Amino acid sequence: IVAVLADPASGSFALCAAAVEGAFPSLTPACPQVHLFEREIAEQFGVVPEGHPWFKPVRFHRSWFPGRDAWRRGPGEEILPSVMPFFAVAGDEVHEVAVGPVHAGVIEPGHFRFNCHGERVFNLEISLGFQHRGVERALLAGPDARTVHLIETLAGDSTVAHATAYSQAVEALAGVAPPRRADSLRAVALELERLANHVGDLGALAGDVAFLPTAAYCGRLRGDLLNLTALLCGSRFGRGMVRPGGVRFDAGPERTADLLDRLDRTLADVRSAVELMFGEPSVQGRFEETGAVTGAQAVEMGMVGPAARASGLERDARLEFPSGLYRFAQLPVSTWHSGDVFARAWVRWLEVQRSAAFIRDQLAGLPDGGCRTPAGALAPDALAVSMAEGWRGEVCHVAVTDARGRFARYKVVDPSFHNWTGLALALQGGQISDFPLCNKSFNLSYCGHDL
């Protein structure tokens, strides 16, 4: 087992490795944030974390090594998502509520099991895996012609973030660096992705509390911001933009001027719609003190991104582990202290404003030069760690090559993998009717978790 440990204070990584046979002592009792990682290791490799407090599958697939099943399931035994033990609370006045995997909205599938006393939630347990596609196994023996397309569809709304993390890993293994102009255009695409999704989330939060003016406006404005990415590279979700060695599309003076003009006009409308929502007392009454996660809980569970920053944590890979343009141009970290729905919405609004200002600065001063450096063969028997700050938080890719310079292991950690437990904590002690609002305030990726 190889563990990659990040030290935000120094911006460095450390590798720890241990040879194990069929089992190893669980670290979860001492370090709760590794609980899903240990279950994932067990599921993929059949190695049991002994002493894990709640040991069960994560994505409900068979072991990568036939005959090595951590739960001793037979080869013909059917494995179905969410067929597992759940927490139970006894008592005549206690009941369970099961939500999903089929939901009322057009969203991804997931199962949510509530233990309730009346409307009060004692505990929420989240079981995913319905979107598991086996992407990490499909990446083995790459890179090849399909690799980057698998990367771009890990979580479709975070295409640029995952493509950037992948490209940086390949560049490190190939010993090349993208041109400065490519770094700038990557950062612009990454911040446009953040803008579009944050604005969409603010509108969705307004819709969840029946404040329809902001919901309607932000739904349209999200589309306008996605169209800026389409203007940059031809895809509203940024597919085809980022590649190892740089970017595939440049932005000349005319396109840059058009992007700046559209951005300014769109952001003026966003400001009107969002300030209208934050100025409405009925909205604040629903947002404030709903679904709070403390800073201590966020640290203990390893939360990342806006969800962590809303609980007062200054966690941002752009600042702590800067790469590309962020080594030279940084954004202030947007935080709030209350950890509730209001805080998660407010942090998004702060980031919208700062990302927009960052995009303006970069487009107004793009460096001269080319957009791509050819990336050759990857170094054999090597390991690379790459991070990018996606709009949900820290995206981490780890690539390990074999003697031929092909991927022997490719590990992806989407920010949602860190944050789903945070959603469960946010509901403890709250009302079950708060669940849709809390869920939207995190807006986590099911497929990013399930891979």
Q: Convert the pLDDT of each residue in 266-288 to its tens digit.
A: 999 999 999 999 999 999 999 99
Nearest to 317 by CA among 221, 413, 198: 413
CA dist 265 → 104, 192, 256, 272, 363 (Å): 35, 15, 14, 11, 16
Confidence tier at 196 by pLDDT (50, 70, 90): very high
Cα 194 to Cα 125: distance, rounded to the nearest angstrom: 29
Q: Is 11 helix (H, G, I), strand (E, B) or coil?
A: coil
Residue 90: what pLDDT? 87
Confidence tier at 76 by pLDDT (50, 70, 90): confident
pLDDT tops 90 at residue 92: no
Letter for the amino acid at 183? D
Architecture of domain 143-450: Orthogonal Bundle (1.10)
Threshold 0.95, pTM exceeds: yes
Beta strands in 181-310 (DSSP E): 242-243, 246-247
Residue 231: what pLDDT? 98
364-420 pLDDT, tens digit per residue, is 999 999 999 999 999 999 999 999 999 999 999 999 999 999 999 999 999 999 999
Q: Which two tokens stand for residue 4?
A: 């990659």
Q: Is 127 helix (H, G, I), strand (E, B) or coil?
A: strand
Q: What percent of the chain has pLDDT over 70?
A: 100
- Through-space distance between the first and last CA atoms of the chain, rounded to whole angstroms: 20
Specify the residue for token string 């582990």: 321
Which residue intervals of the chain bear CATH 1.10.645.10?
143-450
Confidence tier at 79 by pLDDT (50, 70, 90): very high
Cα 408 to Cα 142: distance, rounded to the nearest angstrom: 8
pLDDT tops 90 at residue 106: no
322-370 pLDDT, tens digit per residue, is 999 999 998 999 999 999 999 999 999 999 999 999 999 999 999 999 9
Cα 344 to Cα 291: distance, rounded to the nearest angstrom: 10
